[in-house]
């Protein structure tokens, strides 16, 4: 879609950079294999980022619950 073109270009730049990095390592040969390795690496990074964010959200939820308990205790005094 036209409103997503900027994001798609940025994604293609990231993918190209990852493919160049893999190609430069000299460990993987062939465009298709390099593309698959780049996709795997980017997916892994995305999953790690998502898991980190999820963990942070859980910490914030716990802190919020603790704050609610403390405030409720103070109000009942």
Per-residue pLDDT of the chain (77 residues; tens, 9 = 90+): 889 999 999 999 999 999 999 999 998 899 999 999 999 989 888 888 877 777 777 777 787 887 777 777 776 76
Buried b / exposed e along 43-68 (16+ C-beta atoms within 10 A): eeeeeeeeeeeeeeeeeeeeeeeeee
Cα distance between residue 55 and residue 44, in whole Å: 16
Please give the pLDDT value at position 65: 81
Give me the number of domains the chain comprises: 1
Q: Which structural domain, as residue segments, surrounds residue 26?
A: 2-75
Q: Residue 77: what pLDDT?
A: 67
């Amino acid at each position: 879609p036209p409103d997503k073109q900027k994001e798609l270009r940025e994604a293609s730049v990231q993918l190209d950079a990852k493919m160049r990095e893999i190609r430069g390592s000299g460990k993987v040969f062939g465009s298709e294999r390099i593309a698959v390795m780049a996709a795997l690496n980017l997916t892994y990074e995305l999953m790690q980022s998502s898991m980190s964010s999820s963990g942070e959200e859980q910490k914030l939820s716990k802190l919020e619950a603790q704050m609610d308990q403390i405030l409720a205790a103070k109000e009942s005094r």
